[in-house]
């Protein structure tokens, strides 16, 4: 399986839910690598923020995105207080980031996430359980915070891999009904 980057086409999962965003929407691509999703969203007219620790991989993206070089596993969250219409993560898992990622989803914003799941260790890399989602783990991550629109957990062919993926939205709280005098 090719590495996470430009050599891969955009994820069909990301395209499926990312296509719901209007031009001008603000998108955060976390651990973006060479920027396959950064490019796809930018071509759709979105304003993209690309975060990765690899400055060399980010350099070509400067013309189409706001790039943030950051080691997400060692340093502080580089975008405290920022909110995005979509937060996208693929082929990356660092559980300590989940609070920051969820806090970065704006009202009516999307959380689009997919990465390797338990079972992957039987067919290839990654095989370290620290980098494999446990059954139902993404559902637990968003519970009480976001509304799940779609979720999958299982085997996908071509290339063979075990994946877990979710698309969830932060619903805006409903306005209380107007009170009329009796």
Please count the residues of the chain. Answer: 182
Cβ contact 162:117 at 8 Å: yes
174, pLDDT greater than 70: no
3, pLDDT greater than 50: no
Q: Parallel, antiparallel, or unpaired: how do β-strands 147-156 and 161-169 relate?
A: antiparallel
Instruction: Choose the weakest-confidence range: 102-111, 122-131, 161-170.
Output: 122-131
Q: Structural domains in the chain?
A: 12-169 (3.40.50.150)
Start-to-end Cα distance in the chain: 67
The residue among 7, 5, 9 whose CA lies nearest residue 32 is 5
Pick the residue with more confidence: 8 or 174? 8
Is 124 strand, coil or helix? coil
Which residues fall within 8 angstroms of residue 68, CB to CB, at 6 or more apart?
49, 50, 51, 78, 79
Stretch 31-52: mean pLDDT: 97
How far is the C-alpha of 25 from the C-alpha of 86, rounded, in Å? 8
Contacts of range 78-83, beta carbons closer than 8 Å, 24 or more positions apart: 78/51, 79/28, 79/49, 79/51, 79/104, 82/28, 82/49, 83/26, 83/107, 83/109
Q: Model pTM?
A: 0.90
Burial zone of 66 (CB within 10 Å; 0-12 exposed, 13-18 middle, 19+ buried)? middle
> Tens of pLDDT along 56-68?
999 999 999 999 9
């Amino acid at each position: 399986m090719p590495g996470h980057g430009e050599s891969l086409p955009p994820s069909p999962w990301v395209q499926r839910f990312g296509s719901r965003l209007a031009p001008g929407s603000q998108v955060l691509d976390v651990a973006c690598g060479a920027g396959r999703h950064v490019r796809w969203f930018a071509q759709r007219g979105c304003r993209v923020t690309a975060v990765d620790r690899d400055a060399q991989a980010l350099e070509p993206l400067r013309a189409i995105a706001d790039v943030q070089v950051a080691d997400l596993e060692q340093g502080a969250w580089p975008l405290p207080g920022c909110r995005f219409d979509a937060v996208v993560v693929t082929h990356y898992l660092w559980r300590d980031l989940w609070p920051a990622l969820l806090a970065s989803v704006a009202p009516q914003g999307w959380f689009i996430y997919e990465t390797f799941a338990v079972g992957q260790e039987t067919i290839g890399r990654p095989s370290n359980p620290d980098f494999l989602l446990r059954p139902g783990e993404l559902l637990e991550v968003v519970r009480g915070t976001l509304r799940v629109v779609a979720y999958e957990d299982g085997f996908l062919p071509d290339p063979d891999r075990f994946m877990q993926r979710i698309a969830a939205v932060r619903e805006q709280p409903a306005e209380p009904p107007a009170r009329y005098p009796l």
